[in-house]
Amino acid sequence: MPKMFKKKEAEEKIFKVKRGKFISRLRGMKDILPDEYKYWNLVIKKASELSKAYGFRRLETPILENLELYERSSGRASDLVTKEMFSFVDKNDDKIALRPEATPGLVRAYVEHGMFNLPQPVKLFWLGPVFRHDKPQAGRFRQFSQFNLETIGEPSPVADAELIALTYYFFSELQLEVAIQINSIGCALCRKEYLVKLDNFYKERGRRAKLCQTCKKRLAKNPLRLLDCKEKQCLEIAGEAPQIVDSLCDDCRNHFIKVLEYLDGLDIPYNLNPTLVRGLDYYNRTVFEIWPSSAEATDGKPAEAEALRNEQPRQNALGGGGRYDGLVEHSGGRPTEACGFAIGLERVILKIKEKNIPLKDEEKGDIFLAQLGDQARRKIMLLFEELRKSGLSVRQAFTKDSLKAQLEVANKMGVKYTLILGQKEIMDGTILIRDMESGIQEVIDYKKIAVELEKRLSNNK
């Protein structure tokens, strides 16, 4: 083959890109597109402001942790560990998990960094992604984000009430109506007695036969979990079960009463929910969840039965938490009482969207800078930086040439004024200022831009 042909063929190989097969995102995973960020910014800002005001300090932990951390903390038999965890063996044969929840990692960090030496309680604020191999559906993803607060090193019921109050303020300030569900599952001692009663109840007169398959298995291993099964037939039976609050020891009962008294004092509404137990091993005493208020969850239609009323919001819980007094010690630390909560941000954002709550569009600005010709573009690029640094909310479309196209962008960004610079204005030392509402354009002295803008924008307020 002649040399020239060989070269051409090689060039073709380099430059000819074959269209590849498209690989879509994984099931249950989502992209957050630019239009969504106004919602994310809002909820993150609210979470950060509240956390700061109440003295919670932010920290981050790795997404990957030892699998054993979750097996030991969340519970080897929990759904989270047995069914939902993403785990793998890495190149060193270590068993690794993608965090399915934040609390075990936060407690690990508390012990590992000797935070028990700090003044107690240590109040932690955490925001980040978690991973669960859940069955994807509306509001249920395999990667989602949580906002967590943990108060570590505080036995007082004030800490529980403070957390519940904070979740309530978080939702009410976002204009979302929620129903706080609360219960106490006591301590290891009083629960032991209760579990005997529960076991007897479920074994009574053919009740066991009516349970779902999973609950039949749970009955032997963890009967408490039968109470929060989401299957309709199990919910109905759970409604008749003996209530754990009736079996609480004096200390646990007094603790629970105090939590409720603090909430009453703050006028925070709640529902005492005897079937709320939360699914993880580490909880004791106060447990709570935040449900969308039932009017919203059923679209205002009266629910047919108590079971149905309970079922829908329970599956779409916006957040949940509770006390975990044994977890720090169980994780290798000193005996340390603690409590915390997690709120799922995707579900919060879905609710904000459903309710059409108007949001400030942060991409919008006050002034747009338009240019005609390359010389004007160079000058306007410098002016843009000057105005931006002076604190003005300026927008631009430097890559566009036509004035029509630039004015279209300016309109989209909802600016009040557009400054237009062309060849003639450069020669005259002027610039045009266009009032976007009236369309009126005036010539102003280029040197007086800042003064003019300040005057016009302050008149506009």
Positions in the binding site for ligand AMP (CB under 6 A): 101, 132, 134, 139-141, 144, 146, 317-320, 342, 344, 346-347
Buried b (16+ CB within 10 A) or exposed e, 171-188: beebebebbbbbbbbbbe
Q: Which is nearer to ligand AMP, 347 or 395 (CB)?
A: 347
If the CB atoms of residues 166 and 342 are measured against ligand AMP, the closer one turns out to be 342
> Least distance (Å) from ligand AMP to the CB of residue 287?
10
Residue 263 Cβ, how far from ligand AMP at the closest point, in Å? Answer: 19
- Residue 65 vs 101, nearer CB to ligand AMP: 101
From the CB of 419, what's the least distance to ligand AMP, in Å?
A: 45
CA 169 – CA 167 distance, rounded (Å)? 6
Question: From the CB of 110, what's the least distance to ligand AMP, in Å?
Answer: 19
**413 Cβ contact list (under 8 Å, min separation 6):** 363, 364, 365, 368, 395
Q: Is 446:401 a contact under the CB 8 Å cutoff? A: no
Report the nearest approach of ligand AMP to the CB of residue 145 (Å).
Answer: 8
- The C-alpha atoms of residue 369 and residue 406 are separated, in whole angstroms, by 9
Q: How far is the CB of 98 from ligand AMP (least distance, A)?
A: 13
Q: What are phi and psi of 252, to 5 degrees?
A: -70, -40
In angstroms, the CA 397 to CA 380 distance is 11
* Residue number with CB closer to ligand AMP (131 or 202): 131
Q: Are 110 and 309 in contact (CB under 8 A)?
A: no
Which residue's CB comes closest to ligand AMP?
Answer: 344
Residue 75 or 320: the one with the smaller Cβ distance to ligand AMP is 320
Least distance in Å: CB of 344 to ligand AMP? 2
Q: What minimum distance in Å lies between the beta carbon of 146 and ligand AMP?
A: 5
Q: Are strands 284-292 and 319-323 parallel, antiparallel or unpaired?
A: antiparallel
Beta carbon nearer to ligand AMP, 29 or 196? 29
Pick 139 or 274: Cβ nearer ligand AMP: 139
Cβ atoms 79, 296 nearer than 8 A? no
Q: Which CB, 104 or 344, lies closer to ligand AMP?
A: 344
Among residues 347 and 434, whose Cβ is nearest to ligand AMP? 347
Smallest distance, Å, CB 167 to ligand AMP?
Answer: 10
